[in-house]
Amino acid sequence: NNAIRRLLHVAVSDVNDDVRRAAVISIGFLLFNAPEQCPNVVSLLAESYNSHVRYGAALALGISCAGSGMKEALTILEPMLNDPVNYVRQGALLSTAMILVQQNEQMC
């Protein structure tokens, strides 16, 4: 998809951290109708040296996979729960909650 390609380019090349974060979060909105693709797209971004990009990757997973209980997304978010940066931890917790909403122990 051309839009995802352009957002990924901005996410890794823009000099402004806010623009990079917004680009990564926007990927989550674009993949809302195809949540199974989001973990593959943002998995490398979730390991970025830039904390704003990591935060955006966490929220992109939460937005695109909301209510799905998707294990792949939760696996990517798990190491982010112990991130040294406080807002990355917050984003990981928010996204975990969004993914697990309306799920029970049998579904996950």
Query: What does the pLDDT read at residue 103?
Result: 86
Cα dist. 30→21, 47, 49, 50, 82 in Å?
15, 21, 24, 22, 27
Low-confidence stretches of the chain (pLDDT beneath 50):
none
Q: What is the pTM of this model?
A: 0.94
Query: What does the pLDDT read at residue 76?
Result: 97
Give the torsion sign (CA, 32, 34, 35, 40).
negative
Query: What does the pLDDT read at residue 108?
Result: 65
In angstroms, the CA 6 to CA 85 distance is 27
The token pair that represents 84 in the structure block: 């040294």
Would you say 62 and 31 are in contact if contact means Cβ atoms under 8 Å apart?
A: no
The token pair that represents 86 in the structure block: 């406080």
